[in-house]
Structures are given as C-alpha cells and as structure tokens.
Chains A and B, each alone.
Chain A
Amino acid sequence: MHHVVLDRWSRGSTAVHRLDPRAKIVSLLLLLIALATAKHSVPLLAFELALLLAAGFCWARVPVVGALARAALVLPFAATFAGIAWLAGDPARGLSLAVKSYVSALAVLFVVSTTPLPTLLRGLEAMGAPRFLLEVAQFLYRYLFLISEEAQLMRAAAAARNASLEAWRGNRERFRAAGGALAVLFVRSYERAAMIHRAMLARSFEGRIPTLSINRFTTRDIVFVVLSSAIPWALRFVTAAS
C-alpha cells in the first residue's frame, strides 16, 4: 500500500522532528503574522522566507523540491483571487496575495511534515484548541488512510480485470461504472471504519486517542521559538527599510 507522503516525512528523527509541537506551532503563527501583515517589498520578503523554510526542510531532511511542489497546491486557489485583483487594476496586490499564500502553505507544510499528526494535535490541545475538533481531525486523518487503502484495493481488483481509468474517460457508461465504484468505495470504507471502531472499543477506547509522546518544553524549544520568530520579523523590517 502507498501511504501519504507527509505522514512518512513526519516520522523522521531529526532535531526538528524532536522539537515540542507547541514550539513549532508558535513559530508558525509568528511567521504567518509577519508575512500577512507585511505591506512593502512583499515578493522579496516572501522569497527570503521561502529560502529560510527551504533551509529548514534541509535541516529536517525532508525533500525540498517535493515540499516546494506540494506547497504549490494552493496556487490555483490563490491565483483566482490574485487574478481578480489584477483585473481590478491592482497587480501588485494580486502578486502579493499569490506569494503570501504560497509561502504560508510552505510554512504550514514545514510544521506538518516534521510533526506526526497525533503529536501535532496533542500540541494544539495543550494550547487550548477545542478537543472535539481535534478528535474529529484525528479520525478524519485515520479514515483518509482507510479510504486510500480501500481505493487502492479496488483499483487493483479492477486492473486485474482489465479495467483502467483511461478506458473510462469519454465513455458515459463507464463513467457511470466509475460512479458505482465510488459508491462501493464509500460502503466498504464505512464497513471497515465500523470494524476499526469495534477494535478500538475492544481495547477500552472511550473517545480519546492516546499517544505515548509527552510534551516537554525544553531550552532547545525556547531557542527554536526565539530564533525562528526573530529571523522572519528581522527580515520583514530589513526588507521594508531597504
């Protein structure tokens, strides 16, 4: 089975991965504020921050090119609004919006790709995020894997009988068959989800997924927060002044 790349990246063992999730969340928030509130020389600032984040990805031994490419997933959405701003006669604002969105996505990706989701959610919980929302996020995450597994199994079964996605294109009947397959995927995923829930209940699950990790905010985390927050803000002021 193929599994989500981000999950694999987040299971690293570098110093960045070992940082307390709260340190990374605080640094992320401060970086996002620095970027979002910047008004002057935004493309240059965004470029500098992207370089900073790329260095962070190298430090965490996460493939930089892969991370840069994945962050670009936000561009189609950002480009829509950037295009509107451009058409409204404010191209600078449009460009600013696009680069801010891209670098923000890159920053979020940095945190997500260096922190396993359960640990990240524990960090958010420790910072006062609503537990209910976090539990929903964790279940969504687990069931995302489940749907992915079921989809891969169905695809393999279909391929074994000479079906392929390419063959479905442009053919209404086969498109309908693909719709049916989606419905089956939903039912299969639902049934497997019920089995997993039973297995969880059988081991005394009472609504909260526990982890073995213990959040301990150490000097190393404080140093990380100070440096990773100071650098973006310093860059912002220096770039604006120049």
Chain B
Amino acid sequence: MTPLIEVRGLHYRYDDGTTALAGVDFQLESGESVALMGPNGSGKTTFVLHLNGLLMGEGKVVICGLQVQKKHLGMIRRKVGMVFQNSDDQLFMPTVLEDVAFGLRNIGMEPEAAAARALVALEAAGMPPAAAGRAPYHLSAGEKKRVAIAGVLAMDPEILVLDEPTTFLDPPAQRSLAGWLSQLPQAKLIVTHNIWFAAAICKRAVFFREGRIVADGPVPEIADRFGWDFAAQPAN
C-alpha cells in the first residue's frame, strides 16, 4: 500500500546559510498519527512546510503518490491540510464563514456550496452557527484555533498537519482540542512540545535534532529517552 507521506533524503538550507534539514527520511501510513518532537530550531516546522510545497528542498517528498513539484501543488494542497502555529496568521478574511470557505472558493466551488460546506466544517469544529458572521479577530484563542482547523477540514484533506496546536490555549481548551482531534479520521502530523497532548492523539513520535530525525517510536518511549517530562493532563 502506498504511504500517505514518503520523504527520502530531504535537505534544506535557508537563504542566510542556516542548514535546517540535513537528510530527513520519514514515512506516514494511512490513518496514522505522529507527533514531531524536538528542541526549538531542530527543523520540525521547516520539515512540515515541505509537505505541501511551501518550501522545496533537495530530496524526495511524495504525498499520496504525487511527488511535490510545482505541477502537482494544486492537488497536494488539497490533500495536506496545514494548521499554522499562530491562528492569527491563518485567519485573514473579514468573517469566520468567509475564512473557512476561503480554500473552497480557491478550488472553484460556487459561493452557496462553499458557504454550506464551511458551515458544516464549523459545526464539526464545535463552533456555533452564530459565529459564522463574526470577525475572526473577535474570537478567543481556542475559538480561533477551531476556526483555523475548520478552514482546513472544509477542504477534506487526507492528512492534517498541525504546527504547535496548543500554543495560546489554556488547559481546558487543550484537552477539548485533543479530544476532538483524536476523533478525526485523517492521518495527523502534530508538531508539539506538549508530551501530554502528543500522547493523547498519537501513538508514534519522531524526534528531530539538528535537522535530522534521530529517533522514532512510541510517544512515552521517545519522551523518556530524551528526558522530556511527561506532563500530567492539563488541569481545569
């Protein structure tokens, strides 16, 4: 069976000469959820930006059988839904509904159909219908995160990539997000420093260090091996 993500020998260097990825090999199977862990600057975010062609380094990146190349970007960006660390960067339309429908309109869906599907995605994300007409910048951090994820889910991606999804969220919101995400059928890649959150959603984790994956295994084992405290479940 073709893996959803297959990465071989991925290298990337930023314009200032910093080597961000120094030969990454990775594979994600259908229905799998994997936590990407590692210290700041170890290459986790740079790696996920390669998965839908936002960055293009040297090496092989294949998504659902399609090599990441300019000619496949349209298809690949429908398959890989990316939720960015700061929801404010992702919410740029005047209303919540327009923002969730942004991707759908970009792929040519008619306004009525896009609005209907966006409403379904918002409901699935636990947002009340009344939120549809609100301005995104008036939402709480937890609501913004849910709207950002709804905007990605509306596109019905096969792979969900979340970069530090617990940033700005209080413990109850983190727990609520973990419960909701673990029910979604998509394969997931979650960049996180939050071990509890990673363990709540993923069985497998990979550990990045200096642009390489240096360990791959069950979340508790990886956390233990690298001395990352296994934080208790967030309190209320």
Residues of chain A having any CB pair with chain B under 8 Å: 1, 3, 7, 11, 116-118, 142, 149, 192, 195-196, 198-206, 209-214
Contact = CB atoms under 8 A, between A and B. Distances in A.
Q: Dominant SS at the B interface?
A: helix
B106 A142 contact: no
Interface string B66-91: 00000000100110111010101110
B184 interface: no
A156 to B, nearest CB: 15
A209 B82 CA distance: 19
Given A203-B155, A210-B106, A142 B92 contact: yes
Contacts of A196: 89-90, 92
Contacts, number: 76
Contact of A195 (B78, B86, B93, B101): B86
A198 B84 contact: yes
B115 interface: yes
A153 B228 CA distance: 32
B211 interface: no
Nearest to A145: B137
Nearest to A143: B92
A199 B107 contact: no
A202 B54 contact: yes
Contact of A212 (B81, B97, B106): B97
Given A202-B54, A204-B103, A195 B77 contact: no
Contact of B94 (A116, A205, A206, A214): A116
Interface hub of A117, A142, A198, A206 (most chain B Cβ within 10 A): A198
B74 A204 contact: yes
19 contacts: A11-B94, A118-B98, A195-B84, A195-B86, A196-B90, A198-B54, A198-B84, A199-B84, A199-B92, A200-B102, A202-B82, A203-B151, A204-B77, A210-B101, A211-B98, A211-B111, A212-B98, A212-B111, A212-B115
Contact of B137 (A1, A118, A206): A1
Given A204-B103, A210-B102, A212-B98, A199 B74 contact: no
